[in-house]
């Protein structure tokens, strides 16, 4: 693929001391040039930050309810399953049609257009599992992604660190955007050229040059410090996992007893309240800490389209498939922005979204990818 353009809040009463002296984390960070950083001060969000950095849903319903609602059940398995299934059917029929049953419609719109494909990882290409380090993608899914990438520029956009998601996916021909889009990498031999933004060249595991764009590089020392503090402050809560996502941090509570969820949130909030340049968001049984910069998965999609010379083109159809709240930024960009395209929400339960279509789970995502390949081959 050729790139064209030039360029809450309960107050803590008993807080454990924070110490980070024993932790040595992130020894293998890629070096990045200051060139990429110098232009990023204007990305800092100027949103007024509340004293405690509390999210609106936490303010209105408290930590526990906010944490519960951030992670819907993965499937419909209870005695209400018949009525739930009926409401799912209604949701797909009336609001967010299945991208599989609407495939022909989508393709009639795609005719004569170049498709650019953006795929989230967790919950989209791999099923949600208890242990974040074991969220492997099936080899059938890998083959499906590999095949689709032969025909369409394909990028993986994940909240995970880029290194981790690259390792899970294991396909060097793709574009990767880790840390919710804050760490973008081209495939070896391709450049990431963007008229407004500088770039960094690094070397991948095979020793080949790759291009990086890292708009939050200046936050690395802060994120490192906060990571150490979070590991330390949550270490006595059974089941907590603090994940280093390079420019972001995930604090998982999936394996924590529900009675301790509020405690987890309180501890996290205690740490980040002294960092006004960091913000806290929810994911699926995870609290995510990230820099307060005007950058997200939607911005990453726009950046990639611009870098590929595919922005503002009538003959380009971007498609973004994702399951998480953070994917909504990308759905919004494709729904409302100049690069009109389709967001496809992966969900087994009805919910509101900025996406246009839906798919039930990763197995339907795989079917969709295969259908894209079959369609493309039929056109040749």
Ligand X SMILES: O=P(O)(O)OC[C@H]1O[C@H](O[C@H]2O[C@H](CO)[C@@H](O)[C@H](O)[C@H]2O)[C@H](O)[C@@H](O)[C@@H]1O
Phi, psi (rounded to 5 degrees) for 188: -55, 140
Query: Nearest distance from residue 376's CB to ligand X, in Å?
Result: 25
- Which span sits near ligand X by CB under 6 A: 1-9, 59-67, 230-238, 244-252? 244-252
| String of contacts with ligand X for each residue 38-77, x by CB under 6 A | ----------------------------------------
How far apart are alpha carbons 189 and 176 in whole angstroms?
A: 14
DSSP string, 26-38: -TTPPP--HHHHH
Q: How far is the CB of 283 from ligand X (least distance, A)?
A: 5
Give the phi and the psi of residue 68 in degrees, each rounded to 5: -65, -45
77 contact partners, CB below 8 Å, separation of at least 6? none
- 278 bridge partner residues: 291
- Chain center to CA of 114: 24
Residues 6+ apart with CB under 8 A from 150: 373
In eight-state DSSP terms, residue 350 is -
Contact between 329 and ligand X by CB under 6 A: the answer reads: no
> Closest approach of Cβ 213 to ligand X, in Å?
18
Shortest reach from residue 286's CB to ligand X, in Å? 4
Q: Does 254 bind ligand X (CB under 6 A)?
A: yes
259 to 288: interface string for ligand X, x by CB under 6 A = ------------------------xxxx-x
Find the shortest distance in angstroms from Cβ 99 to ligand X: 18
E strands present in 76-182: 114-119, 154-157, 175-178
What's the rounded Cα separation, in Å, for the pair 245 and 165?
A: 10
Residue 245 within binding range of ligand X, rule CB under 6 A: yes
326 binds ligand X (CB under 6 A): yes
- Judged by CB under 6 A, which of 186, 250, 296, 358 binds ligand X? 250
Residues 150-169 that bind ligand X (CB under 6 A): 158-160
Please give the Cα distance from 64 to 206 (Å, whole number): 45
Minimum distance between the CB of residue 118 and ligand X, rounded to whole angstroms? 11
Size of site (CB under 6 A) for ligand X: 24
Distance in Å from the first CA to the final CA of the chain: 18
**Contact residues for ligand X, defined by CB under 6 A:** 120-123, 128-130, 132, 135, 158-160, 243, 245, 250, 252, 254, 283-286, 288, 324, 326
């Amino acid at each position: 693929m050729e790139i064209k353009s030039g360029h809450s809040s309960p107050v803590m009463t008993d807080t454990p001391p924070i110490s980070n002296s024993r932790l040595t984390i992130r020894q293998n960070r890629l070096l990045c040039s200051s060139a990429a950083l110098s232009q990023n001060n204007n990305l800092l969000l100027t949103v007024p930050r509340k004293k405690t950095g509390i999210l609106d849903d936490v303010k209105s319903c408290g930590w526990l309810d906010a944490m519960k609602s951030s992670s819907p059940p993965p499937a419909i398995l209870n005695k209400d399953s018949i009525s739930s299934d009926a409401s799912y059917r209604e949701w797909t029929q009336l609001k967010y049609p299945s991208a599989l049953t609407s495939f022909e419609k989508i393709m009639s719109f795609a005719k004569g257009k170049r498709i650019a494909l953006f795929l989230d990882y967790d919950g989209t290409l791999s099923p949600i599992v208890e242990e974040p380090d074991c969220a492997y993608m099936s080899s059938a899914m890998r083959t499906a992604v590999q095949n689709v990438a032969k025909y369409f520029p394909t990028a993986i956009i994940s909240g995970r660190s880029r290194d981790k998601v690259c390792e899970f996916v294991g396909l060097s021909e793709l574009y990767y955007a880790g840390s919710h889009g804050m760490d973008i990498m081209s495939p070896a031999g391709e450049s990431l050229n963007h008229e407004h933004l500088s770039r960094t060249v690094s070397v991948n595991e095979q020793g080949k040059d790759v291009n990086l764009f890292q708009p939050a590089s200046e936050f690395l020392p802060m994120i490192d410090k906060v990571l150490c503090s979070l590991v330390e402050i949550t270490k006595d809560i059974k089941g907590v996992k603090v994940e280093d996502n390079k420019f972001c941090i995930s604090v998982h509570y999936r394996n924590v007893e529900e009675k301790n969820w509020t405690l987890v949130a309180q501890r996290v909030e205690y740490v980040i309240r002294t960092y006004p340049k960091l913000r806290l968001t929810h994911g699926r049984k995870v609290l995510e800490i990230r820099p307060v910069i005007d950058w997200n998965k939607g911005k990453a999609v726009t950046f990639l389209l611009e870098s590929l010379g595919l922005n503002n083109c009538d003959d380009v159809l971007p498609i973004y498939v994702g399951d998480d709240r953070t994917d909504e930024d990308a759905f919004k960009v494709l729904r409302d922005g100049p690069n009109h395209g389709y967001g496809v929400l992966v969900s087994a339960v009805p919910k509101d979204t900025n996406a246009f279509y839906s798919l039930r789970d990763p197995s339907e995502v795989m079917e969709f990818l295969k259908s894209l390949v079959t369609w493309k081959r039929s056109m040749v």
